[in-house]
């Protein structure tokens, strides 16, 4: 388990992270989402032991991660711009990882290269961006670490490979103690694979919840009422996150339990009422809008 407690990080005068707390449990896929410049990469680098936090602690399986090979040996970090030595082939890079990660599975790595048609003797700098991403994921999986940190690693992969990698992650989780931590802006992808999501915004964490429970707490509905006072009554009864009106059709996003909302709607006798499924993207937009991350007024 990775425990993040009150992590802060400042770059010169810019506060990148402020009192972040989160827990990444074993055996689940943790998705890290956030607005641009929210501090996702910084947080992942701190978890990986690359950056040292100005304040707070990060422990990996109860070991502090900073300058601690024991904790770092449990983590493989894949950056959004993974470094490969110039003029080196996948086999050359393999030597580095083999030396540093004792449980590196060479045979499996070679099998991956063969299956994905990556020439093991071709120089990596001649690979396409997507091929490099594939290669780095294979290094990460074959390193055999408990935690695999992927910083926007899925960006650049074609849909087939993306699905395959997702399947690989699932298979890894079934066969061994494996916890991927994935930061991405592609929320649709995360929605498919993640069990738990943390949302960062302006250096602070807005929430860190299981995906299902998060969806259960927020509801979006479309409804038409005879009286406008009924709309007011509904909005007074629940914390409204977002409200929109087109003609007599109201689209309202609010927090509450399904039962309470159903009961309230029934008491108001709407002309039309429909509960809509909420996607992760909508949750993201909704939550960040609440936090003031809203640029619509600039163009509407």
Partner 1 sequence: MTSKNSIYKMTLEHLRHSGWMIALSFIGNLFAGPVILLFEYSNRDYDYLATIYDAKEFLFYKSSVMVSSLADLCGSTFLAVSMIGALIVALGIFYYLFQSSKVDLYHSLPLTRNELFYSGYLAGLLIWFVPFILNSLITLPLAIFCAGGFAHINMLLVAFLKMLAIPTLGFIIIYHLCLVTVMLSGNMSNTIIATLVWGTAPIVFYLLFNVHFEQYFDTFHKFTINEFLLCAFAPVVAPIIIQVGQMDDNMGNMLGIIIFISLLIAAINFLVARGIYQKRKSELAGRGMENKVAALLTRTPASIAAGLFGVIFLYFVGISNRRVLWSIFFCVFFSVFTFAVLSAVQKKTVKALFAHKAQMVVTAAFSMGFILACHFDIFGYDTYLPAKDNIASCEIRISAMNQYYYYDEDNPYTYHNPDVIYDILTAGVEKSEYANATSVTVKVIPKSGFSYYRSYYIPMDKVETLRPIIEDDDYFAYIYQDYIDNANRMSGVYLHDLTRGSFQVEDATQAEQLWQAYHMDLQEHCSMEEQTSYIAVGDIEFSIRENDSENYCMRDLPIKSTFRYTLAYLKEHYPNLALHKDDLKINELRVNLSLGTETTVEEYYQEMLTPSGPVKRGTYEASEDYYFETYATIEPVADYECSFSPEELTWLYNYLEPSRDHADRLNADNYYYFGEIELNTGVNISCYIKKGTMTDSEISTLATIVNEKKRLIEY
List of residues contacting partner 1 (CB under 8 A): 11-12, 45, 48-52, 67-70, 72-73, 75-77, 79, 81-83, 85, 95-96, 99-101
Are 196 and 31 contacting, i.e. CB atoms less than 8 angstroms apart?
yes
Task: For the CB of residue 114, give the shortest distance to partner 1 in the complex, in Å.
Answer: 25
Q: Retrieve residue 100's tokens.
A: 């540093």
Nearer to partner 1, 14 or 272 (CB): 14
Shorter beta-carbon distance to partner 1: residue 70 or 111: 70
Smallest separation, CB 72 to partner 1 (Å): 4
Q: Report the residue number, 62 or 67, with the smaller CB distance to partner 1.
A: 67
- To the nearest whole angstrom, how small is the minimum distance from the Cβ of residue 50 to partner 1? 4
End-to-end CA distance of the chain: 45
Smallest separation (angstroms) from partner 1 to the CB of 18? 17
- Distance separating alpha carbons of residues 73 and 146, to the nearest angstrom: 9
Q: CB-based burial of residue 196 (10 Å sphere; 0-12 exposed, 13-18 middle, 19+ buried)?
A: buried
CA distance 111 to 157: 19
Sheet with strand 272-276: strands edge to edge: 240-246, 249-255, 218-224, 272-276
d(CA 133, CA 24): 24
Instruction: Quote the crossing angle between the two packed helices 90-100 and 129-142, to the nearest 10°.
Output: 30
Minimum CB–partner distance for residue 153 and partner 1 (Å): 13
Of 135 and 197, which has the nearer Cβ to partner 1?
A: 135
How is residue 200 written in tokens? 């960062």
Distance in Å, CB of 83 to partner 1, minimum = 4
Residues in the chain: 300
Tell me if 243 sits within 8 A of 255, measured CB to CB: no
Query: Which of 48, 208 has the CB closer to partner 1?
Result: 48
Q: Which is nearer to partner 1, 11 or 272 (CB)?
A: 11
Residue (80 or 172) nearer to partner 1, CB: 80
Q: Is 56 left (phi over 0), alpha (psi -120 to 50) or beta?
A: left
Q: Residue 90 class from Cβ within 10 Å (0-12 exposed, 13-18 middle, 19+ buried)?
A: buried
Strands 2-11 and 14-24: antiparallel
Nearest approach in angstroms of CB 254 to partner 1 is: 41
CB 5 within 8 A of CB 24: no
For partner 1, the closer of residues 67 and 236 by Cβ is: 67
Could you tell me the smallest distance in angstroms from the CB atom of residue 9 to partner 1?
A: 9
């Amino acid at each position: 388990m990775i425990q993040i407690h009150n992590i802060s990080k400042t770059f010169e005068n810019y506060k990148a992270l402020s009192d972040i707390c989160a827990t990444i449990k074993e055996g689940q896929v943790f998705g890290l989402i956030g607005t641009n410049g929210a501090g996702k990469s910084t947080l992942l680098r701190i978890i990986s032991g690359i950056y040292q936090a100005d304040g707070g602690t990060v422990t990996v399986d109860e070991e502090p991660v900073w300058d601690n090979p024991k904790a770092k040996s449990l983590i493989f970090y894949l950056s959004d711009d993974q470094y490969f030595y110039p003029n080196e082939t996948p086999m050359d890079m393999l030597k580095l990882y083999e030396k540093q990660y004792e449980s590196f599975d060479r045979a499996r790595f070679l099998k991956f290269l063969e299956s994905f048609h990556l020439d093991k003797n071709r120089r990596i700098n001649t690979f396409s961006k997507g091929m490099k991403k594939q290669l780095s994921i294979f290094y990460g999986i074959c390193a055999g670490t408990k935690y695999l940190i992927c910083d926007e690693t899925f960006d650049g992969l074609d849909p087939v490979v993306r699905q395959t990698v997702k399947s690989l992650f699932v298979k890894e989780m079934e066969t061994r103690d494996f916890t991927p931590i994935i930061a991405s802006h592609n929320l649709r992808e995360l929605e498919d694979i993640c069990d738990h999501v943390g949302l960062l915004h302006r250096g602070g964490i807005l929430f860190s919840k299981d995906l299902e429970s998060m969806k259960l707490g927020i509801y979006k509905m479309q409804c038409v009422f005879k009286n406008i006072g009924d709309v007011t009554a509904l909005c007074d009864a629940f914390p409204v996150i977002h409200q929109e009106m087109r003609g007599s059709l109201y689209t309202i996003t609010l927090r509450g339990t399904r039962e309470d909302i159903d009961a309230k709607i029934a008491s108001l006798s709407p002309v039309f009422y429909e509960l809509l499924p909420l996607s992760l993207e909508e949750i993201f937009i909704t939550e960040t809008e609440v936090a003031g991350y809203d640029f619509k007024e600039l163009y509407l």
